[in-house]
């Protein structure tokens, strides 16, 4: 497994990000690597909800470029993770939540995140990519809540995110274990 990431650079090609001037170069390098390595699966993930419509508009071109560079690779878009404002740890402090069990919290941003995921799912459907919902794995849409904590192998609990949208170690492990069967059915967690 190889992971290429760059801070605040959505995984799209040929799109200038003024606040991150090296994104185009980074994404061009990653596309070239996909062509060199020919991975079984290419997973595209970002904090989709904070990026502009231009990112969604550029995503089909990016998927087409990946499929051309690595024809046998399965392309998977992973949707948004739960978000709380100003952040999950602050929300937990405000609600005086203690880290001693797995629990869910109301997630008022959930409707907007699901609306953004619907756009991502539509891109996946029109490009032949797959879409996997992190929200469906971590949230109860009907109740408007999402898992807020997860357990580490040592038995301790952590918030699933450490800020507004970056997963903690426990959150990453939880989500990976829930999504792996959909992303790469033959892989073992």
Q: How many CB atoms lie within 10 A of CB 44?
A: 21
Using the predicted structure, report yes or no on whether residue 47 has a pLDDT greater than 70.
yes
Instruction: Please give the Cα distance from 22 to 29 (Å, whole number).
Output: 11
pLDDT at 49: 83
**Strand 157-159 relative to strand 41-44: parallel, antiparallel, unpaired?**
unpaired
How buried is 160 (Cβ within 10 angstroms: 0-12 exposed, 13-18 middle, 19+ buried)?
buried
pLDDT at 124: 98
pLDDT at 187: 62
Q: How many CB atoms lie within 10 A of CB 161?
A: 22
pLDDT at 188: 57
75 within 8 A of 67, measured Cβ to Cβ: yes
pTM of the model: 0.93
Query: What is the chain's alpha carbon radius of gyration, rounded to the nearest angstrom?
Result: 17
| 61-94 residue pLDDT tens | 999 999 999 999 999 999 999 999 999 999 999 9
Question: Across the chain, what does the average pLDDT equal?
Answer: 94
Strand pairing partners for 130?
A: 76
Q: Which residue has the tokens 């959909």?
A: 182
| 1-35 residue pLDDT tens | 899 989 889 999 999 999 999 999 999 999 999 99
Distances (CA, A) of 108 to 87, 127, 151: 12, 31, 24
| Structural element, H or E, at residue 26 | helix 23-37
What are the E-state strand segments in 16-170? Answer: 41-44, 74-78, 104-106, 130-132, 139-140, 145-147, 149-151, 157-159
Query: Of 18, 155, 159, nearest to 91 (Cα)?
Result: 159
Angle between helices 23-37 and 53-69 (to 10 degrees): 30
3-state secondary structure of 136: helix
| 121-180 residue pLDDT tens | 999 999 999 999 999 999 999 999 999 999 999 999 999 999 878 999 999 999 999 999
């Amino acid at each position: 497994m190889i992971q290429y990431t760059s801070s605040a650079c959505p995984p799209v090609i040929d799109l200038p990000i003024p606040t991150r001037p090296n994104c185009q170069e980074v994404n061009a390098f990653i596309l070239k690597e996909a062509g060199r390595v020919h991975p079984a699966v290419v997973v595209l993930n970002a904090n989709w909800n904070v990026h502009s419509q231009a990112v969604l508009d550029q995503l089909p071109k990016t998927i087409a470029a990946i499929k051309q560079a690595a024809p046998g690779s399965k392309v998977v878009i992973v949707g948004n993770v739960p978000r709380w404002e100003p952040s999950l740890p602050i929300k937990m402090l405000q609600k005086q939540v203690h880290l001693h069990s797995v629990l869910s919290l109301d997630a008022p941003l959930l409707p907007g995140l699901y609306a953004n995921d619907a756009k991502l799912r539509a891109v996946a459907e029109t490009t032949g990519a797959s879409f996997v919902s992190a929200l469906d794995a971590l949230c109860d849409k009907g109740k408007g809540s999402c898992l807020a904590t997860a357990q580490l192998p040592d038995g301790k609990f952590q918030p699933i995110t450490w800020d507004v949208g970056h997963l903690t170690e426990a959150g990453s492990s939880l989500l990976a274990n829930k999504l792996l069967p959909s992303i790469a059915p033959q892989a073992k967690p």
